[in-house]
Structure 1
Amino acid sequence: MLAEDADGYHFGAFRENELLAVISLFEKDGIARFRKFATRPDAQRQGIGSHLLNQVIDKARQLGADKLWCDARLSAAAFYQRFGMEPEGEVFFKDEIPYAKYVLPLSNSPTV
């Protein structure tokens, strides 16, 4: 839980009432950020995360955001790049895991 959770939009993917994936979207002053994006290991590589991220991109546009961003694990960089997201800034670490900020301008972004 984060202090700002009440200000966000929270999405989940379910199969037969089982939660498979989650993602949360926060928007402020035309900039949207998604966080807490996770898919159960046994549900990965089935398009579930792509579907949720497309929902978040659509919602960010509906909210009037011009840009969407996230802190992405470098191991997932190819996934985010399929959506037109590009790295911005330096690589940083959370614990020992390398991350980068990935940004998507919403005016011309593709959906996957």
Structure 2
Amino acid sequence: MGLRRGPSGAPATVSIRPIAASETYPLRHAVLWPSQPASYVQLPEDVEGQHFGAFGDAASRGGEDVGAPSTTAAAAAAAEPRDEEDEEDEADVPQRLVSVISLFVDAARREARFRKFATAPAWQGRGVGSALLAHALDAAARAGAARISCDARLSALAFYRRFGLEAPAPAEDGLPAVFFKGDVPYVRLEKSLLP
């Protein structure tokens, strides 16, 4: 992802890369289910998933972050090949995990599902989640999935619709069927990944 302007007007540099499932847990817990025990956000299928994180520079976060501690871009460079110029420019910029998403692909059925998508509150509304979701949709298509689905919080329905995710069979009133996880209303959404 490129540059986004932070609240102070300073550019917010964000990079997206694969991460371990365990790295998603603090942000999943803090953003999605803070009133539940930390184990509530761990999924048995996490070992089979692909997990992606968006890392933002700490200088442009515009508020307190939730989730994983800072690293440096130099330490993260081992996970992602870069040009020498990129390493030189970003080597001392502290990085913080600011958004996470987990992708599960069933290659035999050509279906994918993303889960536990969370963005730190200080980074919401800045394009970080959009970039991470677009990355996950692309990763699912590259893995051969023809369709992708998710259980989305009803409050985020408009966000997901911008990516073409819709309810598979809306009720007669045109609204998607709502179900609850705890006291939070959700809807099942899906999208074709075929061109």
The match for 2:110 among 16, 24, 30 is: 30
Gaps of 5+ in 1: none
Q: Is residue 34–residue 69 contact of structure 1 (8 Å, CA) maintained in 2?
A: yes
Question: Displacement, 1:96?
Answer: 1.3
Tell me the CA shift for residue 50 of structure 1: 0.4
State the structure with more CA Rg.
2
TM-score, scaled relative to structure 2: 0.54
From 99, 119, 122, the equivalent of 1:21 is 99
CA–CA distance in 2 between the matches of 1:61 and 1:37?
18
RMSD (CA atoms): 1.0
In structure 1, C-alpha distance between the alignment counterparts of 2:55 and 2:121, rounded to whole Å: 14
| Bigger RCO (CA 8 Å, 6+ sep) | 1
Q: Give the C-alpha shift of residue 74 in structure 1.
A: 0.7
Any conservation in 2 of the 1:67–1:104 contact (CA below 8 Å)? yes
TM-score by length of 1: 0.92
Matched length: 108
Structure 1 stretches of at least 4 aligned residues deviating more than 6 Å after TM superposition: none
- Counterparts of 1:1-112 in structure 2, within 5 Å, are 1-15=42-56, 16-28=94-106, 29-89=109-169, 90-108=177-195
Indicate the percent of aligned positions where both proteins have the same amino acid.
Answer: 51
Unaligned stretches of 5+ in structure 2?
1-41, 57-93, 170-176
User: Which structure dedicates a bigger proportion of its chain to helix?
Assistant: 2
CA offsets 1:38-89 (integer angstroms, 9 cap, x no match): 0001100000000000100110001110100100001000000000110135
Query: Secondary structure of the equivalent of 1:42?
Result: helix
User: Following the alignment from structure 1 to structure 2, what is the Cα–Cα distance between the partners of residues 19 and 38?
Assistant: 11
